[in-house]
């Protein structure tokens, strides 16, 4: 499960970088880019927090 969350976090960060690059080149307007930034940042943050929670639970069980 932690590997899946890691892949989700990495994919969200890569998509965020791609969105920034597309916004820079005017391929995407602000109406798409701004909500996309927030969604991708939130997704990466949630995946990272879930990884931390799972890691902490795993340590407690040992």
The whole-angstrom separation of Cα 38 and Cα 48 is: 15
| Assigned token pair, 11 | 């994919």
Task: Give pLDDT, residue 17.
Answer: 93
Q: Could you read off the pLDDT of 1-10 as tens digits, one per residue?
A: 878 888 999 9
Considering the chain, what is the average pLDDT of its residues?
88
* Residue 3: predicted pLDDT: 87
pLDDT of residue 61: 55
Is the pLDDT reported for residue 50 higher than 70? Answer: yes
pTM value is: 0.76
Encode pLDDT of 51-61 as tens digits.
999 888 876 65
């Amino acid at each position: 499960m932690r590997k899946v969350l890691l892949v989700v976090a990495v994919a969200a960060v890569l998509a965020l970088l791609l969105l920034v690059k597309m916004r820079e080149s005017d391929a995407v307007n602000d109406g798409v880019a701004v909500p996309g930034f927030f969604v991708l940042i939130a997704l990466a943050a949630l995946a990272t927090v879930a990884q931390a929670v799972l890691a902490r639970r795993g340590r407690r069980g040992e």
